[in-house]
C-alpha cells in the first residue's frame, strides 16, 4: 500500500518484528521512517535497506534501555499474544512492559503505539456494544496482562508525559476465519492505517481505541477516539457468505459463541 501520510520519522522501533503481525508491518512501516529498528527476542535474519536489527528480551532491563536509544516512537508488538501460562505472561507482558516504559522514559521517547487486545474486554457478550470507557473484563491472563499494559501507559502519561495509543486489536489476519471475526476482523491495510494514525495524530495523551475494519457487525464504539483520525476502508462483509457457509449454525449455549473473546473465554491454565 502507498504510505497514508508523507510524515516521516527519523527512527521507528518495531518490537515483536518476527511475530505474525510484526512480519506484516515490517515492510509497511519502512515507508514512514529513515531507519526502522527491528527487535525480537531471538534471531530472525539480517536487516534490509533502511533497517537495523537489535535483539532484546523484554524482561532484560539493560537490553531494553539500549534498544530504546535514539528512537522517536515505538510500535510495540512484542510480548505474548495468546493465552499462556502465567510465567511467560508475567515475563513478557508485565515485567516486559515495565522495562519498555522505563527505557522509553529514560530515553525521552515521545510516543508508544501499544498492541493491546480485544481480550481486555473479552467477557462482554456479543449482544453488547461497548466502548473503551466501559470497565475491563479480561477473558484470561493474557487479556489481564494487556489491561495492565494499558494502565501502565496511563500512569506514564499522567506522571511522565509519555504518550501512548493503546490499540485493542480485534483479529488482524488476511481474512475473517469464523463468524466472530466478521465483527472483530481488521484487514492488514486498515491495521497500517490505524497504526499510522496513532503515530501521527498531534495530541493523544493516552488514548484507547479498538482495532477493527469498517465491519457491518460491530461490538465496539470508537466515538471517543475520533481525534486519532482512523478511518477504516475495508469491511468483513465481502467474506460473510463464505464464512456463514462454513459455519451455518452457532451453539447459543457455548460460552465461546456468546462472548466477544470467543474461544479465549474457555482457554486457560488452571489446576
Where along the sequence are the contacts to ligand 15L (CB under 6 A)? 81-82, 117-119, 171, 184
Query: Which one, 32 or 81, has the nearer CB to ligand 15L?
Result: 81
Which of 4, 145 has the CB closer to ligand 15L?
145
What minimum distance in Å lies between the beta carbon of 194 and ligand 15L? 14
CB-nearer residue toward ligand 15L: 9 or 264: 264
Report how far residue 125's alpha carbon sits from residue 129's, in angstroms, rounded to the nearest whole number. Answer: 9
Active site residue 142: yes
Q: To the nearest 10°, report the CA torsion of 35, 54, 200, 162.
A: -130
Could you tell me which residues are beta bridge partners of residue 185? Answer: 171
C-beta of 74: minimal distance to ligand 15L in Å?
18
Find out whether 17 and 27 touch, Cβ atoms under 8 Å: no
Instruction: Single out the catalytic residue among 141, 142, 156, 230.
Output: 142
Give least dist CB 63 to ligand 15L, A: 23
| Cα 223 to Cα 111: distance, rounded to the nearest angstrom | 22
Q: What is the dihedral of CA 41, 45, 51, 54, to 10 degrees?
A: 30
The dihedral through the CA atoms of 219, 256, 17, 15 has a sign that is positive
Alpha-carbon distance 191 to 200, whole Å? 14
Output the smallest distance, CB 98 to ligand 15L, in A.
20
Q: Annotated active-site positions, please?
A: 142
Amino acid at each position: 500500500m502507498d504510505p497514508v501520510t508523507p510524515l516521516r520519522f527519523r527512527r521507528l522501533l518495531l518490537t515483536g518484528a518476527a511475530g505474525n503481525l510484526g512480519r506484516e508491518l515490517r515492510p509497511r512501516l519502512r515507508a514512514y521512517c529513515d531507519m526502522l529498528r527491528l527487535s525480537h527476542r531471538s534471531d530472525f535474519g539480517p536487516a534490509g535497506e533502511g533497517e537495523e536489527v537489535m535483539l532484546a528480551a523484554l524482561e532484560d532491563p539493560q537490553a531494553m534501555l539500549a534498544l530504546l536509544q535514539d528512537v522517536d516512537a515505538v510500535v510495540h508488538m512484542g510480548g505474548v499474544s495468546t493465552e499462556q501460562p502465567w510465567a511467560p505472561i508475567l515475563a513478557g507482558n508485565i515485567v516486559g512492559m515495565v522495562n519498555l516504559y522505563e527505557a522509553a522514559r529514560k530515553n525521552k521517547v515521545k510516543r508508544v503505539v501499544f498492541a493491546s487486545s480485544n481480550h481486555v474486554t473479552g467477557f462482554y457478550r456479543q449482544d453488547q456494544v461497548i466502548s473503551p470507557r466501559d470497565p475491563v473484563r479480561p477473558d484470561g491472563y493474557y487479556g489481564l496482562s494487556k489491561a495492565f499494559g494499558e494502565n501502565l501507559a496511563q500512569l506514564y502519561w499522567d506522571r511522565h508525559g509519555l504518550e501512548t495509543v493503546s490499540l485493542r486489536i480485534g483479529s488482524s489476519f488476511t481474512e475473517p476465519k469464523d463468524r466472530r471475526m466478521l465483527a472483530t476482523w481488521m484487514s492488514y491495510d486498515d491495521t497500517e492505517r490505524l497504526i499510522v494514525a496513532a503515530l501521527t495524530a498531534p495530541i493523544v495523551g493516552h488514548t484507547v481505541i479498538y482495532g477493527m475494519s469498517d465491519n457491518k457487525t460491530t461490538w465496539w464504539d470508537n466515538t471517543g477516539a475520533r481525534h486519532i483520525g482512523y478511518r477504516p476502508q475495508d469491511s468483513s462483509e465481502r467474506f460473510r457468505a463464505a464464512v456463514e457457509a462454513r459455519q451455518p449454525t452457532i451453539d447459543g449455549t457455548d460460552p465461546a459463541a456468546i462472548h466477544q473473546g470467543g474461544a479465549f473465554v474457555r482457554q486457560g491454565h488452571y489446576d
